[in-house]
Structure 1
Amino acid sequence: MTNNEIYEELLSICEKENVLKDEPMKNHTLTKLGGKADFFVTPVSYDQMSRIVAFTYNNKIPFMLLGNGSNMVVRDGGIRGIVVQFSKLNGLKREGNTIVAQGGANIIDASRLALKHSLTGFEFACGIPGSIGGAMAMNAGAYGGEVKDIINHVIVITKEGKQLKLSKEELELNYRSSIIGKKGHMVVEAVFTLENGDEKKIKEKMDDLTFQRESKQPLEYPSAGSVFKRPPGYFAGKLIQDSGLQGKGVGGAEVSTKHAGFIINKSNATATDYISTIEMVKTKVKENFGVDLELEVKIVGEDLNE
């Protein structure tokens, strides 16, 4: 299909203001990096989402789901095909001791809703800058807690456009991985089961975690968060720090002097700068300690010369 035909089909599914052409991905990633997406679509219903996915699948059109862009680096050449973001599917509600969250809601907002209703178990997420869908796909966690601890079930859309309900056991949640990522499912809704708690104690814990995060992480610069997974028996940030890499980088990208596990967009970096800095870090840590660092962030899209 031509891009004009794709555009017309998308307009038959979604409102015109929710279908953008040649949209710069740097506007939608926390690194502030990335070239243009051919189409950037923000559906407002599960039905629209299912129809878009089925359309891309049946016509073999490249497709990518974007959370809030917190754990992703988009290459400078951008993304071909259709990028869908759930930012307008962001509902949150409390039902008894559960929190029901749509895939585009921010996990931080879910933790705040739990606090409001004196529900404990979600405190760990008070500083995670991601969407519910993205958090489910990678079993997001921090400060000793993770999504696996509180999830009840999710509703997903498969890559064929069908809706499925998956239990906690069916999600196969492990360290920074799940069946969602492996199968290419898209989370449109997640239900979390929490315990009744004391609002004051919950807030104290969240305030403490927020202080720890703000004092240790370089939140004043755009970044993709923690770049590498924790290697067995090590801490990625310590390996990078001990390799003397803090403050070093390529172009406008730099290994943070505040937290070595973060690579920041310090000065109008390109995605190529950022990715080159990642490769530099991996090479140096391998040379110094014999450890292969594995990426926690996803690198997507095309290089400019492709």
Structure 2
Amino acid sequence: MNKQTVISELQDILAKDHILIDEELKNHTYTKLGGKADFFITPGTIEEVQEVIRYAIRKQVPFTLLGNGSNVIVRDGGIRGIVLSLKKFRAIRREGNKVVAESGARIIDASRFALQEKLTGLEFACGIPGTVGGALYMNAGAYGGEIKDCLEHALIVDRGGDVHQVLAEEFDLDYRTSNIAEKGYIVLEATFQLKEGHYEEIKAVMDDLTFKRESKQPLEYPSCGSVFKRPPGYFAGKLIQDSELQGKGVGGAEVSTKHAGFIVNKDNATASDYIAVIEMVQQTVKAKFGVKLEREVRILGEDEEMA
């Protein structure tokens, strides 16, 4: 892969300011971790997304989709090839009692938009930091609600660069999972079926959930949010707390003293530090309680020595 050739060819598809070379991905992740992307691409139209995908397939250039980096760890060696960001796709609109939100919009903002429109059903998402696309990818949820409860359908681009409308039930949405990665879909926008409600009642629920989040989560430090899925019959945070792991870490990363389900970048951690803490937690909980903690967070990219 010749970088100058790829740059020249990408400029036939996108404006120059939509293509960043050797972009530091730590600037695009909530953990503030991650090496460089060879090409960081921010298309502004659906047609540009389609053309970038088709180009990557045709030229066999590695291709990775990155949301707003809230539930992902990028390794210190960064990501080879094209990293596609849909951060320019942020529009949110109302259609009847539905909210239609583009993939790059924050799911928090979709929840707040629903409040302003006096629509109920997205309150649970008022504290989830990911994008709409990322929320669909992992069927994000909190406080008893999840994306599959209100998703009607989504507009996607498939592996061949073609656009389709896909119904919610076709995504196989389950606890923190979907078939989006398996199918190779890129979500462009999502339509949520909501109900008419009362502004003050909706706001009261969102204010309560926001208070719970801010009082319990270590928002003062960079983190990827909740690291582990809830194991059947247990709570991950309780298992970690009972393993006396809070405050323990590797390098600049440690298990939060405020919420054991979080690992924080407390002091200029590397991605290797962060991943090492994840593995330490998994090994300790397995040894102490016989429970295997499964990661909710995705790990992307290469180790530094491989870059």
Q: Does the 8 A contact of 1:138 with 1:181 survive in 2?
A: no
Aligned to 1:120: 120
Match of 1:78 in 2: 78
Q: Deviations over 1:21-70 (max 9, x none)?
A: 00000000000000000000100000000100111112221111011000
2:299 is matched with 299
Moved more, 178-187 or 228-237: 178-187
Q: Distance in 2 between matches of 1:258 and 1:181?
A: 32
Matches within 5 A, 1:61-210: 61-210=61-210
Cα offset, 1:178, TM superposition: 1.0
Give RMSD over aligned pairs: 0.7
Alpha-carbon offset, residue 96 of structure 1: 1.3
- Distance apart, 1:289 and its partner CA: 0.5
Q: Is 1:49 the equivalent of 2:49?
A: yes
Consecutive aligned runs of 4 or more in structure 1 exceeding 4 Å deviation: none
Instruction: Tell me how far apart the structure 2 counterparts of residues 271 and 169 of structure 1 sit (CA, whole Å).
Output: 35
Correspondence for 2:225 = 225
| Matched residue type, 2:83 | V
Q: 1:292 and 1:58 mapped to 2: Cα distance?
A: 41
Q: Which runs of 5+ in 1 are unaligned?
A: none
CA distance in 2, matches of 1:232, 1:58: 43
Q: Which amino acid aligns with 2:220?
A: E
Letter in 2 for 1:219: L
- Cα drift, residue 180 of structure 1: 1.1
**How much has 1:184 moved relative to structure 2?**
2.1
C-alpha displacement of 1:10: 1.1
1:76 positional shift: 0.4
* Superposed CA offset, 1:263-297 (max 9, x none): 00000000010000101000100100011110000
The SS at the match of 2:218 is: coil
8 Å contact kept, 1:76–1:272: yes
One-letter code of the match for 1:135?
Answer: A
Written as runs of structure 1 = structure 2, the 5 A alignment for 1:274-293 is: 274-293=274-293
SS of the residue corresponding to residue 70 of structure 1 reads coil
Per-residue displacement from partner, 1:74-111 (whole Å, max 9, x unpaired)?
00000000001000011111111000111101100000
C-alpha distance in structure 1 between counterparts of 2:186 and 2:124, whole Å: 23
Distance in 1 (alpha carbons) for counterparts of 2:165 and 2:5:
33
CA distance in 2, matches of 1:159, 1:261: 35
Deviations 1:147-169 (A, max 9, x none): 00000100111122111110011
Query: Letter of the aligned partner of 1:248 in structure 2?
Result: K
